[in-house]
Chains A and B, each alone.
Chain A
Amino acid sequence: MLRIENLHVKLEEEDKQILKGVDLSIGAGEVHAIMGPNGSGKSTLSYVLSGRDGYEVTAGSATLDGEELLEMEPEERAASGLFLAFQYPVEIPGVGNMTFLRTAVNAQRKARGEEEMSAGDFLKVVREKAKKLKIDAEMLKRPVNVGFSGGEKKRNEILQMAMLEPKMCILDETDSGLDVDAMKLVSDGVNALRDEGRSFLVITHYQRLLDHIRPDVVHIMANGRIIKTGGPELALEVEHNGYADLLAEVQ
């Protein structure tokens, strides 16, 4: 599904190398987690994969089902099935959440040569999915993320994911700022999407999210590299001992 090889990324504006050779391969239907200290480059990896400006890839590649992602425009990556749930979802005053969702769903369908969803069908599907995430009609009508609480923003990300049905989902600290109930809602939303054709890359600081969304593989990222890869037990180890031992091990 997703294959990242020797990915080196620096900031466009400054001479600062952030990713220093990331290798990561996620098979179809797999759930991988990335943990790591703040500033290790986790968000940068997710942004580079989704095509945000401001970064320069100096070496390496990233392919989604064999297609080179790094050459595509952000919207093309999305239409190919990549989705990023943002660590900090963006507020867009003046654009209704519903308009945003429908525009996105239909734009992706169009890009893939599929038929657009009728207004009626769309409404039905969105209501049903929103209900599961406890997103009320009022929130759907409001401008995108404007005035949403931290938890509402994260649930809104999951709603977008559910509507767009991507095949490769990257979740960047979707658990941060969530209380226990919201965490459960979000995890249930993610688990409902788990499928043999769909893969996940879950970026998190905490074991507790991984109690809900069970990963197949856990990676530890530090200083722009994956320094260790293991099974779910690796997350428990980090939870108990922190990163210090792991970092020392590498050095």
Chain B
Amino acid sequence: MALPQAKQDALSARIAGLSLQRDGWLGAARGEALARLTAMGLPVRRDEYWRYTDPASLTAVEAPKAAVFDSSDESPVFDGIDRLKIVFVDGVFDAAASDDLSLAGVEIERLAKAGGADIHWARDVYGVLEARGQKPVERPLAALNSAFATDGVLIRVTGRAARPVSLVYVHNSDSSDAILHHCVKLEAGAEITVLENGPAAARFSKVMEVEVAEGARFHHIRAQGRDHERRAVTHIFARLGAGALFKSFTLTANGVLTRNEAVIELAGDEAVAHVAGAAVGDGSFHHDDTVFVTHAAERCESRQVFKKVLKNGAVGVFQGKILVKPGAQKTDGYQISQSLLLDEDSQFLAKPELEIYADDVKCSHGSTSGAIDETALFYLRSRGVPMRVAQSLLVLAFLAEAIAEIEDEAIAEDIRSRLEGWLARHEH
């Protein structure tokens, strides 16, 4: 079906300045991604999937400017964690700031370098999981990313990674427009933690595809940086084999626009996938978590835990779906999305969905929106806890269920202290 002319024009304009690398295995994958994109066109506000979030600034030819933010009043996140650092500045790999890409149990390569080869393991992942994730809902911005990503990392995990791989995204130019694409493949029984942090660019598009083979364990924790004006659209596509584990947690503090999509397929029996997010926004902040979990095998467990703290007109969006395919018996699916509105100007829009085609399943979902519990606040204060500390305790308590999804206690503590810092800086 041909796209309407306006959509064709918008797409042509958007991609006119982007260059398509045609070489090697990657070139082929990019060509296919472009074909997908051309068939879909760019998203518009009228699309059902973009009802609550206007994609205009994400699809515009030029990235809206975003001032570089000085966050030096706080030590960088994950600083205390022993990790292998890979740094991108405005989407460009920074060799000097990065560690040597060698790690026991792991092969790490840069996409820009490995893409030209004729054959590569990543050929079975790059654009492949993204393409699977285009059904039943189209995600054109992910296809655009697969076609035009300028760099990224390819991580193959064969054993137990000796330490986390940490992707650090530095924002250094107020007009940068970065497109990165990562692939992670965990072989059977392997285990790795991938950390991501930083605002990356004025506008950032990022896709991460994660293939988790039988019994492998993938942990992902990211902190999206404190820049107020940056925009980001990110996708994580994951496919899990039998008995595999996938755990992803995202902290978002600030950012004028963020759309985080997670598309997860439980393809092997007894796989477990947990996705969680804690977002805190003050003022000009629009945060959208869009999650799609497909249960395609038996006895799998999935959890979606998304919490948002909003004030001064901040907007939170949650679109979360659990799809249980025919035959996916004994599915255990859980989804909760909650917002804590610190004033009456803020807004939370939630669309939780369950679609179930198997009869022996346990699925629950809930969504709530509320103010801080005044009775609890008074109780704390009556014990001598100052107002600000009491509020901060209650906000952290509200976020606790999401933070609990981080297995590593040191990382969880780091995330908690970021939130405490944010709360201290954004007092009433």
Contacts and interface: CB of A to CB of B under 8 A. Distances in A.
Are A and B physically bound partners? yes
A92 B397 CA distance: 8
B374 A103 contact: no
Interface stretch (B244-252, B326-334, B343-351, B385-393): B385-393
Interface stretch (B54-62, B94-102, B126-134, B375-383): B375-383
Given A73-B387, A95-B397, A107-B389, A100 B382 contact: no
Which of B375, B384, B387, B394 has the most C-beta atoms of chain A within 10 angstroms of its own C-beta?
B384
Contact of A92 (B380, B387, B401): B380
Contacts of A92: 373, 376, 379-380, 394, 397
A104 interface: yes
A91 B380 CA distance: 11
Contact of A95 (B378, B384, B387, B393): B393
A75 interface: yes
Contacts of A74: 378, 381-382
A50 interface: yes
A94 B381 contact: no
B396 interface: yes
B382 A111 contact: no
A75 B383 CA distance: 7
A11 B389 CA distance: 28
Nearest to B376: A92
A52 interface: yes
Contact of B375 (A79, A90, A164): A90
Interface in A70-91: 73-75, 77-79, 83-84, 86, 89-91
A230 interface: no
A204 interface: no
Contacts of A95: 380, 393-394, 397
The interface residues of chain B, by DSSP majority, are classed as helix
A73 B381 contact: yes
Contact of A94 (B375, B382, B390, B401): B401
Contacts of A105: 384
A107 B386 contact: yes
B422 interface: no
A242 to B, nearest CB: 32
B81 interface: no
A128 to B, nearest CB: 20
Q: How large is the interface on B (under 10, 10 to 19, 20 to 34, 35 or more residues)?
A: 20 to 34
Contacts of A164: 383-384
Contacts of A160: 383
B406 to A, nearest CB: 15
B400 interface: yes
B381 A51 contact: yes
A135 B381 CA distance: 23
A41 B374 CA distance: 21
Interface in A24-61: 50-53
B397 A75 contact: no
Given A52-B378, A74-B378, A92-B379, A107 B385 contact: yes
A101 B390 CA distance: 12
Nearest to A47: B378
A78 B397 contact: no
A79 B381 CA distance: 10
Interface in B379-426: 379-387, 389-390, 393-394, 396-398, 400-401
Given A53-B374, A103-B393, A107-B389, A90 B384 contact: no
A78 B393 contact: no
Nearest to A86: B379
Given A94-B397, A95-B397, A51 B382 contact: yes
Nearest to A77: B382
B385 A94 contact: no
B376 A90 contact: yes
A143 B397 CA distance: 9
A177 interface: no
A172 to B, nearest CB: 12
B384 A107 contact: yes
B286 to A, nearest CB: 26
B389 A94 contact: no
A174 interface: no
Contacts of A107: 383-386, 389
Contacts of A90: 375-376, 378-379
A93 interface: yes
Given A90-B376, A92-B376, A103-B389, A78 B394 contact: no
A108 interface: yes
Contact of B382 (A84, A99, A103): A84
A181 to B, nearest CB: 26
18 contacts: A51-B382, A75-B382, A75-B384, A75-B386, A77-B382, A91-B376, A92-B379, A92-B380, A93-B397, A95-B394, A100-B380, A107-B384, A108-B383, A108-B384, A111-B384, A111-B386, A160-B383, A164-B384
Question: Nearest 4 CB-CB pairs, A to B?
Answer: A94-B397, A78-B384, A108-B384, A104-B383
Interface of B: 373-376, 378-387, 389-390, 393-394, 396-398, 400-401
